[in-house]
């Protein structure tokens, strides 16, 4: 992995070492900056997952050549194996923005609609813990994935009406530690 000195310039030089370090369950600010500097930024810096990396290289180069959104991706495996890092790398390699959220945060269809309607063409939407999406939000997500459109109900009762919103093409990257809990 290549680390550039400019990536490390924001790391404080007075990090506690050895027994001087106070150990807690959460990383301190300096540790978070240091960890971010160590994360691979490009696919060729990503260590491990040789077959998956080779497939992603093909997918990414084909997507760039076609100038389209990458097909939707599901990353699954135990915690700490680099699913979030890989999502960031994919967006960076494609040269697009990445919007990041998690399944439990998206309570209502409006939450997802707000995210989707604010994406730029070919952007990546990364949903961590995608297995924890509510069924109501999942139902809104399916047509967005298949047709790049949202069908939203406005109002209630006899005054309710359906509104179709066209979306810009995007890539959803979902990450989960529990693939068996996904409904579809």
CATH number for position 53: 3.40.50.300
Residue 1 lies in a domain: no
Residue 129 lies in a domain: yes
Residue 22 lies in a domain: no
| Mean predicted confidence (pLDDT) in 172-183 | 86
Residue 4 has pLDDT above 50, yes or no: no
pTM: 0.78
Residue 42 lies in a domain: yes
pLDDT of residue 35: 67
Residue 54 has pLDDT above 50, yes or no: yes
pLDDT of residue 91: 98
Measured in residues, the chain has a length of 184
Residue 171 has pLDDT above 80, yes or no: yes
Residue 76 lies in a domain: yes
pLDDT of residue 5: 29
Structural domain harbouring 142: 28-181
How many structural domains are present in the chain?
1
pLDDT digits (tens, 9 = 90+) for 90-127: 999 999 999 999 999 999 999 999 999 999 999 999 99
Residue 16 lies in a domain: no
Residue 4 lies in a domain: no
Residue 52 lies in a domain: yes
């Amino acid at each position: 992995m290549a680390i550039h000195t400019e990536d490390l310039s924001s790391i404080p030089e007075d990090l506690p070492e050895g027994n001087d370090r106070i150990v807690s369950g959460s990383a301190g600010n300096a540790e978070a900056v240091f960890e971010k500097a160590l994360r691979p930024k490009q696919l060729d810096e990503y260590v491990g997952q040789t077959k998956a990396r080779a497939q992603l290289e093909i997918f990414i180069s084909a997507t760039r050549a076609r100038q389209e959104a990458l097909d939707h991706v599901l990353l699954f495996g135990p915690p700490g194996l680099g699913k979030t890092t890989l999502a960031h790398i994919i967006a960076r390699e494609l040269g697009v923005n990445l919007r990041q959220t998690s399944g439990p945060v998206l309570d209502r269809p409006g939450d997802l609609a707000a995210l989707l309607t604010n994406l730029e063409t070919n952007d990546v939407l990364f949903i961590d813990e995608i297995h924890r999406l509510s069924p109501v939000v999942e139902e809104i997500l399916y047509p967005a994935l298949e047709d790049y459109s949202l069908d939203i109900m406005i109002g209630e009762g006899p005054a309710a009406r359906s509104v179709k919103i066209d979306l810009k093409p995007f890539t959803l990257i979902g990450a989960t530690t529990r693939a068996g809990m996904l409904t579809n």
